[in-house]
Structure 1
Amino acid sequence: MPSNVAKKAGKCPLCGQPRDEVYKPFCSRGCRDRDLLSWFGESYRVPAHQAPDGTADVDRYDED
């Protein structure tokens, strides 16, 4: 039985405009590309776990 509830349209995470299914979750190619450039420019960062001595987890495994 089909639902009468309309699908809630998502909004672009950058500008808030209604998203386009082609560029989902963004509204346009411009917002999609701007987000990608933010990743390339290191505006977004994924937190890394570091030891008190300042080395990353990967660095400690290389020591043999």
Structure 2
Amino acid sequence: MMTTQTFSQPIPLDEMFARVWNLGHLTRAERQTLKSVVLSNSLSSEDEDVLNRIFHAVRRGWLKILD
């Protein structure tokens, strides 16, 4: 059974990173969450570091992007 994540209570970025790193991929819902975080313009330095790690892992091919 596949569950969907609602955006009313987003998962903290460090927890999202741990989950996607263990699974090896980003889902559409996770990408939408990342997009909304980036567009919010209120990133802490820790959140910015997590985003940079996620983007780096995608660029290197360590994380796949699912549709």
TM-score by length of 2: 0.35
TM-score by length of 1: 0.36
Higher helix share: 2
Higher strand share: 2
